[in-house]
Structure formats: C-alpha cells, structure tokens
Amino acid sequence: MKRLTRNHLIFAMDKQNQPVLYVDSGERFIVETEDCFSHQIVESDDVLNDNFDYSRVNPATGPIFVNGCQPGNTLKVTIHKIEVESRGVVEVYPGWGPLGNKVEKAETKVVSISEGWAKFGKYLLPLHPMVGVIGVAPAGEAVLCGSPGPHGGNLDTVNLAEGAEIYLPVFVSGAKLALGDIHAIMGDGEICGTGVEIRAEVDIKVEICKSWQLSIPVVKTKESYFFIGSGRTVEDAIYITAEEAVRFIQDRNNLSWTEAYMMASIATDLLFSQVVNPLKTVRIRIPRKIIDE
C-alpha cells in the first residue's frame, strides 16, 4: 500500500500545486498528516505568541493526483481508518470563537491519548478521530487550507470519521486532493477554535464518480447524508446548504420542489460544523431511509 509522508505539506489548495502522489480510481493508501500548528505547540508552555510562525497553520498533506479524474466528475473518498498519535493539544486565544472577547491570553492544554480515550485534566473522554481539512484544488485562485468552500478545505465536520465517505466536486484535472488537521475529539461548532489537534495516519480510498454532479461537499455515513455548506455568515451557509439538500431530496424522490422543502423541514436536521473559520460551516443531515436510492 502506498504511503504519503507528512513532509509533503501545502498551506493552500491551489491548481498550481505540483502533485506528490499519483493514484488510480479505486486505490487505497495511507496519508500521514501534520497537526494544525505544524507541531509548533506540543507542551503546555508552547502557546501562540510572537515566536509562533503563523504561516504554517492548517497544513494539508498532498496534493494527490487521481489518474483519469476530470473537471465535472465527483471524487469519492472513503475514510477507512484514522490512527492518531499519543498526545494532542487544545488551544484558546484572544478573539477566537464566539466567546473570544473573554479570553485574556493564549493557553495550551495537553491531552494524552490511550486505549480509545482522551485524558483532558481529570476527565476521560471517548476518542472520536475525524478529519478537519480535506479538499481538492479550486478552479480559480488558491484558497488557504484554513478556509472552507465548495472545494472542501477546512470543513471541521465531526462526521468525517472512520467509515464515512466524502464526495467532492472536481474542478481541475486529477482533482489534486489534500487532507490534514485531524482532531482526536471535536464538538459541533468547535467553539473555542480548536479540537484536540493531533498528528495522525489516515487510511483512505479514492474513486471517481461520473454519475453524481455536486456543487458542495457531501458526507455519506451508514445512516445519513450530510450536505455541507460554507458562507460569510451562518445565514449564508444555511442558504447554500438548504438549497442543495432540498434539490437532492426533490431529485432522488421525484417530488415537487415544494414537497421536497416540506420533507426537509419535517425529516432533516440543520447542524453546526464550525463557527470559527474565515467562513462559517453548517450541514444538513438527511436520513438515508427517506431517500429513494
């Protein structure tokens, strides 16, 4: 099985980035990821300060060129396994998140990982590793890995976990996939600005889909679809996501648009993914049992 090491980092998703790995549709491989601080914060004494290199935030490993993948295709990425290291960190910083005005100084909490648990102080919390950043190169200008968008990027969505499939619209030849920013645990919203930021190895498989055209990322799990939209405001993100989710329900169930809108109101859930990145991200959960597949 091929392995892409974490020394192949990018800090923006860009069609000009040169591929560092070539794979075929249906191929499974391992990607080593760096934590969101590029391993500059590893102890409680390490904090965001004047010595911190802010240009190295939110790296992604890649890009990965998927042979035969063309603009207009959809790239399906299956997350088979996420193996995290034994230590991660949580950081707060003045101005980060909805309560950032209450944070007086940067502070780091080290979290140890062992046997399926994360130790936060005296508390043991169940491990739930998930991918924070995953995306393809956009068609236009480069987008920093710390920002989300239709191409994916910093989606910070807890459902991007083991067993999930993410579907990404493809804008350039080869897709130029990249991923990183793994969290050992993160809550919906990521309200202080970080999850448990940690290095990891991610076992994934890529496949080219030509029969499903998307305009925003979609995650599929055993029980649900999650349509993920990002916007300048939460309201903008909700509009983008709801429009795509309702259209999907309409098309898959052969309903009128009004019936699909009603179905979305009574059978789906609007959820926050993150409210701390340059764009805000929400998702709509559609139970697979209401979709005619």
Q: Are residues 245 and 139 in the same domain?
A: no
Q: Are residues 104 and 192 in the same domain?
A: yes
For the record, the structure tokens of 219 come out as: 């995650």
Q: Is 256 exposed, middle or buried (0-12, 13-18, 19+ CB in 10 A)?
A: exposed
Handedness of CA 51, 199, 89, 187 (dihedral sign): positive
**3-class DSSP assignment, residue 132:** strand
Contact status, residue 113 vs residue 85, Cβ threshold 8 Å? yes
How far apart are the C-alpha atoms of 10 and 131, rounded to whole Å? 16
Q: How high does pLDDT run on average in the chain? A: 97
Per-residue pLDDT tens for 82-118? 999 999 999 999 999 999 999 999 999 999 999 999 9
Q: Are residues 262 and 146 in the same domain?
A: no
What CATH number is given to the structural domain containing 169?
2.60.120.580
Which residue is it, tokens 């409210």? 275
Q: Are residues 204 and 256 in the same domain?
A: no
* CA nearest neighbour of 158 among 13, 271, 33, 35: 271
pLDDT for 71: 97
How far apart are the C-alpha atoms of 103 and 96, rounded to whole Å? 8
For the record, the structure tokens of 6 come out as: 């974490």
Q: Are residues 133 and 200 in the same domain?
A: yes
Q: Are residues 92 and 137 in the same domain?
A: yes
With 90 as the cut, is the pLDDT of residue 293 above it?
no
DSSP character for 233?
S
Per-residue pLDDT tens for 226-284? 999 999 999 999 999 999 999 999 999 999 999 999 999 999 999 999 999 999 999 99
Q: Are residues 155 and 248 in the same domain?
A: no
Full residue range of the structural domain in which residue 199 is found = 2-219
Per-residue pLDDT tens for 144-197? 999 999 999 999 999 999 999 999 999 999 999 999 999 999 999 999 999 999
pLDDT for 211: 86
Q: What percent of the chain has pLDDT over 90?
A: 97
With 80 as the cut, is the pLDDT of residue 202 above it?
yes
Number of structural domains (the chain) is: 2
With 80 as the cut, is the pLDDT of residue 292 above it?
no
Per-residue pLDDT tens for 1-27? 999 999 999 999 999 999 999 999 999
Q: Are residues 88 and 195 in the same domain?
A: yes
Q: Are residues 89 and 141 in the same domain?
A: yes
- End position of a domain, from candidates 168, 191, 219: 219
What CATH number is given to the structural domain containing 240?
3.10.28.20
Q: Are residues 126 and 73 in the same domain?
A: yes
Confidence of residue 50 (pLDDT cuts 50, 70, 90): confident
Q: Which one has a higher pLDDT value, 292 or 117? A: 117
CA within 13 Å, CB half, 256: 3
Q: Are residues 192 and 59 in the same domain?
A: yes
- End position of a domain, from candidates 195, 219, 243: 219
Q: Are residues 119 and 20 in the same domain?
A: yes
Cα 91 from chain centre: 19
- End position of a domain, from candidates 157, 190, 219: 219
